Amino acid sequence: MKVHRVIAVYDKVKDNLIEDFKIDNFSLDELRKFFPDREDDPELNKVYLITEEQLVEFIKLIPKLSEFDFNIVEFYLECFQE
């Protein structure tokens, strides 16, 4: 099975998925820099809310994320297996 990770963008009011961005090209070590204190989940398999500070860094790597208004959407790191 292959593990995939995405940054998922959800509408805060309707709670529906607007868009997701595959980040399979990010290594686990790179992602751990964004989520460093996850000893209980070293593989980052859980869902994590992305903070505004983290988003600023992700936008440098995925510029299209800047098109969303942080006030009306939420960003999550999600993981799934295929």
What is the domain partition of the chain in residue ranges?
3-81
The pLDDT of residue 58 is 93
Tokens linked to 48: 């994590």
The pLDDT score that the predictor gives to residue 64 is 96
Residue 9 contacts residue 20 (beta carbons within 8 Å) = yes
Does the domain spanning 3-81 belong to CATH 3.10.50? yes
Residue 24 pLDDT greater than 90, yes or no: no
pLDDT for res 73: 98
C-alpha–C-alpha distance, residues 65 and 22, integer Å = 12
Mean pLDDT computed over 41-59: 93
What pLDDT was estimated at residue 48?
95
Residue 31: half-sphere exposure toward Cβ, Cα within 13 Å: 25
Can you read off the two tokens belonging to residue 25?
Answer: 């090209």
